[in-house]
Amino acid sequence: MSIECPFCSIHKYIIENNLAFVIYDKYPVTEGHALIIPKRHVSDYFDTTDAEKKAMLDLAEEIRTIQLKEFSPDGFNVGINCGQAAGQTIYHVHMHVIPRYDGDMKDPAGGVRGVIPEKQKY
């Protein structure tokens, strides 16, 4: 039994370019949490082409502009989970652009280091 990729069947985007598209996360961490996804099915960011990487980064800039206008966040986390050990659960690469808001957590110091909570503070 094969499991169909949930990203390969999406055809309604917030924005797109020739190689990638942006959607809002179905299970957002914060208001405005977006995903940037290459149109080609590829599991790992490090297996994307240089053109796909550029397309994703270009869309990161564009969605940030939209998030600033629509949600007025105070900061952002940007990240990609590569592999099961890193927490990847959908094996079609996707970049998270997560708006952050003052007070959305008690002490955000350490940012993405919080993927291993006891290592977040240093």
- Both structure tokens of 113: 């280091």
Tracing tokens 């977040």 back to the chain, one arrives at 120
Tracing tokens 């050990």 back to the chain, one arrives at 85
Choose the catalytic residue: 11, 33, 92, 94.
Answer: 94
- Specify whether 96 is catalytic: no
- Whether 73 contacts 100, CB under 8 Å: yes
- Residues with catalytic function: 94
